[in-house]
Amino acid sequence: MMAWPRLALGNLRANRRRTGITLLSLTVGVAGLVFLWAFIDGINAQMINNMTGYVTGDLKVHKRGFHDEREMNIGLPQQWNLPQAVAETEGVTAAAPRLNGHALASLADQSRAMQVIGVDPARENAVTRLDRSLVAGRYLQSGNEILLGTGAAQAMEAEVGDELALVVQAADGSIGADPFTLVGVFETGVKRIDGQVAQVPLQAAQALYALWDRVTEVAARVDDPDQLQSVIDRLQPQLQARQVEVLGWPELMPSLVQMVDFHNAVTYIVILVVFVVVAAGIVNTILMSVMERGREFGVMMAVGTSGSRIVQLVLLETALLALVGYALGLALGLAVTAYFASHGLDFTAYIKAMDTMPGLSGIVYPATSPDRWGIIGVVVIVVALLAAILPAWIASRHTPLEAINAHRNATNRLRRVHSEVTSNRMVVIFAQMALRSVFRNPRRSLITASATAFGLAAYLFLYGFADGFFEQMIRNSTQQLSGHVQVMAKGHDVDLSPQLRIDDVSARLTTLADQPAVQAAAPRILLKGMVANPKTSQPMEVVGVAPDQEQQVTELARYMVEGRYVQADDDGIVIGGKLADELDARLNDKLVVTVQQAGGDLASGAYPIRGIYRTGSDLFDSEYVFVNISQARQLAGFAPDQASRIALRLQDRTQSTPLAERLNGELADTQLVAQDWETLLPVVVQMIEMTQIDFYLILSVVFVVVAIGVMNTMVMSVMERTRELGVMLALGTRGSQLVLTILFEALFLALLGMVAGTMLGGLLVAWLNRSGIDLSAIAGSFETIPGITDKVYPVLIIDHVWLPSLLLFACSVLVALYPARRAARLDPVEAIRHG
């Protein structure tokens, strides 16, 4: 039995070039898969680590009902001493009391909605690490002090030492307000935390929210995050008698779980496609390797080796190659991953896009795990063995006489074409020879062309999926709120200050509507504020609209699920379904809206809920409330012919940038500016750009795998034809002529592969464009992504795919240079003796 492994190893050593080529294909494919998976896992790990490390902790203890109702008066009495009880539980590192609420923070005429966390400064730093992220000032001590992130401090133009006013809805339903001194500014690199989270001392928060001697939660850090559920299961029975609930971060931050689920779903799609491309490369290499050894197998059978032994030998050699290739690929992939795990991948240019991914900062550090290595190893080895079975079986069915006749036939054919090679129509003849070679051995040609075909089909599918995803984001985002172009006062895109407004709105609406590219125009008022009911409050963006005009610009009215859209003659409010769920609000319930007016004063109004909309994006459905523009003017202190912005809908979305540039020329002497949807929706644009970077990374791996696959099959093709090429050289064919012939052959095979790949990928995208890719099983993971629903319709945009397709074609031809040059340097005598 040991003779066969020694024979297999001897065969692999005897033809080092063939073995090296096969190992190269396996190594690059495995390394690419290891790194891509580690990149996605690194993103997910960073989101979890940052959100739990800076804000939530690993788990929280609430009084039963607080997490669902968010009512401030559902608090934990401090005399229960729950932090001590939680901290003493096995598996818990530390615990700290907190008070968690929302507030409208104001400085001069600037205001911002914030999540305010009251903390015990002495205990909090053992649970979270916000105190280690200070870039100015100091950490909290006592009294009315506040800590802000860099995003919030910059938006309000606040510096250490400034006094801010916090306006809240207190636990008893009253409106509370207190001054707080800014003592420190932190920077985590996570835009959502740096722009929306503030910390104050626990006692100051209790006074602000009228929640004396109570806290809303106890946050804790566990020793081992992988044992989180075990700690919760141990802790919950201990606290059962006190009517509390223990929740881990997955229950506390469902949006984070949803984003991780979304990432994993997209990862599985991408990894599956990359697996197919890698598998195709492995199959091509193994097939060509077995085919090249036809005469060798014939000799073995002539001396008495059975067909089953041939199959066993090929499978054993393939298994050894797969194991070594997997080991080398794993080592290379882990080395690349380790480098970037240490240095990070810099995505700070796409920080706005990362705002849609809770907890993700500008530097991504890949992370890998052994279970991923195991999956990749099993798949690679199984694919390699499956690829070897059929050609090995075919080789075992041939007789020695058939192999000898195949070589003789090849020699006779070459003698017949020699006279053509030396004719005057040299280039045409080489092309004809190459074309005949392609069709003379259709199996070999099919294997070679399939590498290009699979690569192109995979590329078209991935890009079609991405473009369909992006088109849906753009279309829904512009239709639901932004329109295609908006006109506003300079600076209003950065600061929704009520001081920044447009005068003479009626005249400007008429002028803008007369623009040839404009389909409709509508005025709006946008205000930052708080929305509250007797139970709780939420930070919100209040949008005042003129209903008739607005419905010609956006289509939010068709997303109504209860009640009706904003009416010009009604004093009601329209809210999103997610907000309605968070407030436990129903039609005709009254909400109190509080905003800051231009002079810095606060204004409030109570409005009954007339309608509830659901767009399918919880990000949108939880952040905007709509009233008619007359109410908004009254609330913000605007004159009758004033507005914050004018939104435009265009006949053609692609004309948004040219129109904005033309309008900016006309508005040069005013304090107004026009912005296209790309400027209005930087999150959408940068998410597209960042995802494109991801795709470029993925496609570069696909390109490398395809290029090596094509090169492997071309080298194998040349090696299989060594005797044939030696005869051509012996008959007088020059090396340069041989190179030209092989390049023509590569050109024809690349064209064949491109046509097949275009048809396969195009038909797949066309079919999915009609049926859609149903992602309803992970629909919750889309809640934080603007404009996305649970069904994605892939679409091919020619402008996006023609250049990479051309590069793939060129790559498929140019990789033939290496085997062609090797063929040109063959010694005719040695080549004819080959095999």
pLDDT, tens only, 72-89: 778 888 888 888 888 888
- The mean pLDDT value for 528-552 works out to 87
Q: Is the pLDDT of residue 238 over 90?
A: no
Q: Is the pLDDT of residue 193 over 60?
A: yes
**In this structure, are residues 22 and 286 in contact, taking their beta carbons and an 8 Å threshold?**
yes
- Contacts of residue 396, defined as CB under 8 A and 6 or more positions apart, other chains included, come to 297, 301, 307, 308, 310, 311
Q: Is the pLDDT of residue 425 over 60?
A: no
Residue that wins the pLDDT comparison between 403 and 144? 144
Q: Is the pLDDT of residue 412 over 50?
A: no
Report the distance separating Cα 220 and Cα 96, nearest Å. 6
3-state secondary structure of 815: coil
Write down the mean pLDDT value for the chain. Answer: 81
Minimum mean pLDDT range among 18-27, 176-185, 495-504 = 18-27
Neighbours of 755 (CB within 10 A): 14
Report the distance separating Cα 408 and Cα 341, nearest Å. 57
DSSP state of 126: T
Query: Can you state the percent helix, strand and coil of the chain, rounding each to 5?
Result: 60, 20, 20
**For the chain, percent of residues with pLDDT exceeding 70:** 79
- Map tokens 């800590």 to a residue: 147
What's the one-letter identity of residue 804?
P
pLDDT at 716: 66
172: left (phi over 0), alpha (psi -120 to 50) or beta: alpha
3-state secondary structure of 770: helix
pLDDT, one tens digit per residue, over 680-719 is 887 677 667 766 666 666 667 667 766 676 666 666 666 6
Residue that wins the pLDDT comparison between 310 and 514? 514
**In this structure, are residues 218 and 82 in contact, taking their beta carbons and an 8 Å threshold?**
yes
pLDDT at 456: 82
Q: Is the pLDDT of residue 229 over 70?
A: yes
pLDDT at 68: 72
- pLDDT band (50, 70, 90) for residue 811: confident
Q: Supply 637's token pair.
A: 């202190």
Whole-angstrom CA distances from 329 to 9, 34, 40 are: 20, 8, 18
Helices (H), 772-825: 798-814, 817-824
**In this structure, are residues 711 and 24 in contact, taking their beta carbons and an 8 Å threshold?**
no
Which of 679, 682, 684 lies closest to 660, judged by CA?
679
Report the distance separating Cα 485 and Cα 679, nearest Å. 9
Greatest Cα pair distance, the chain, in angstroms, is: 104
Q: Is the pLDDT of residue 422 over 60?
A: no
pLDDT at 74: 81
pLDDT at 615: 83
- In degrees and rounded to multiples of 5, residue 139 shows phi and psi of -85, 170
- Map tokens 């005068």 to a residue: 503
Q: Where in the chain are the domains?
A: 3-45+257-470+685-833, 65-242, 491-670
- The mean pLDDT value for 351-368 works out to 67
Whole-angstrom CA distances from 820 to 441, 720, 730, 743, 807 are: 18, 13, 17, 7, 20
Helix 735-771 vs helix 722-730: crossing angle, to nearest 10: 140
pLDDT at 420: 44
Which of 430, 414, 417 lies closest to 724, judged by CA?
414
Residues facing residue 181 across a β-bridge: 145, 163
pLDDT at 97: 93
pLDDT, one tens digit per residue, over 273-304 is 767 766 666 666 666 666 666 666 666 777 77
pLDDT at 561: 94
Residue that wins the pLDDT comparison between 832 and 613? 613
Q: Is the pLDDT of residue 311 over 90?
A: no
pLDDT, one tens digit per residue, over 467-483 is 888 888 888 888 888 89
Q: Supply 829's token pair.
A: 């005598």
Give the DSSP letter string of 580-649: HHHHT--TT-EEEEEEE-TTS-EEEEEEEEEEEE--S-HHHHTTEEEEEHHHHHHHHT--TT-BSEEEEE
Give the DSSP letter string of 197-246: EEEEEHHHHHHHTT-TTEESEEEEEES-GGGHHHHHHHHHHHHGGGTEEE
Give the angle subtended at the CA of 784 by the CAs of 534 and 792, to the nearest 5°. 135
**In this structure, are residues 27 and 325 in contact, taking their beta carbons and an 8 Å threshold?**
yes
**In this structure, are residues 274 and 459 in contact, taking their beta carbons and an 8 Å threshold?**
no
**In this structure, are residues 488 and 505 in contact, taking their beta carbons and an 8 Å threshold?**
no
Whole-angstrom CA distances from 349 to 149, 184, 361, 416, 683 are: 19, 26, 11, 63, 12
Minimum mean pLDDT range among 49-58, 306-315, 428-437, 631-640 = 428-437
**For the chain, percent of residues with pLDDT exceeding 90:** 24
Q: Is the pLDDT of residue 440 over 70?
A: no
Report the distance separating Cα 486 and Cα 476, nearest Å. 17
- Map tokens 């904003």 to a residue: 566
Q: Is the pLDDT of residue 634 over 80?
A: yes
- The mean pLDDT value for 232-248 works out to 84
- In degrees and rounded to multiples of 5, residue 651 shows phi and psi of -65, -35
pLDDT at 289: 65
Report the distance separating Cα 686 and Cα 471, nearest Å. 14
- The mean pLDDT value for 805-834 works out to 76
E-assigned strand segments in 634-732: 645-650, 672-676
Q: Is the pLDDT of residue 759 over 60?
A: yes
Judged on CB neighbours under 10 Å (0-12, 13-18, 19+), 833 is exposed
Neighbours of 657 (CB within 10 A): 16
pLDDT at 411: 43
Helices (H), 344-399: 351-354, 370-397
Query: Mind spelling out the 3-state secondary structure of 62-115?
Result: EECCHHHHCCCCCCEEHHHCHHHHHHCCCCEEEEEEEEEEEEEEEECCEEEEEE
Give the DSSP letter string of 134-192: EEEE----SSSEEEEEHHHHHHTT--TT-EEEEEEE-TTS-EEEEEEEEEEEE--S-HH
**In this structure, are residues 787 and 683 in contact, taking their beta carbons and an 8 Å threshold?**
no
E-assigned strand segments in 273-429: 345-346, 363-364
Residues facing residue 178 across a β-bridge: 166
Report the distance separating Cα 496 and Cα 611, nearest Å. 25
- pLDDT band (50, 70, 90) for residue 413: very low
Q: Is the pLDDT of residue 163 over 90?
A: yes
pLDDT at 519: 93
**In this structure, are residues 615 and 560 in contact, taking their beta carbons and an 8 Å threshold?**
no
Neighbours of 508 (CB within 10 A): 20
Report the distance separating Cα 48 and Cα 418, nearest Å. 69
pTM: 0.67
Residue that wins the pLDDT comparison between 678 and 398? 678
Sign of CA dihedral 393, 399, 404, 406: negative
- Specify the pairing of strand 110-119 against strand 59-63: unpaired
Whole-angstrom CA distances from 369 to 71, 263, 336, 656 are: 41, 17, 14, 46
Q: Supply 773's token pair.
A: 């890719």
Report the distance separating Cα 735 and Cα 824, nearest Å. 4
Residue that wins the pLDDT comparison between 115 and 493? 115
Choose from 141-155, 232-246, 676-690 the range with maximum mean pLDDT: 141-155
Report the distance separating Cα 749 and Cα 450, nearest Å. 9
- Map tokens 């033309």 to a residue: 662
Q: Supply 214's token pair.
A: 């109570």
DSSP state of 681: -
Report the distance separating Cα 23 and Cα 27, nearest Å. 6
End-to-end CA distance of the chain: 27
What's the one-letter identity of residue 523?
P
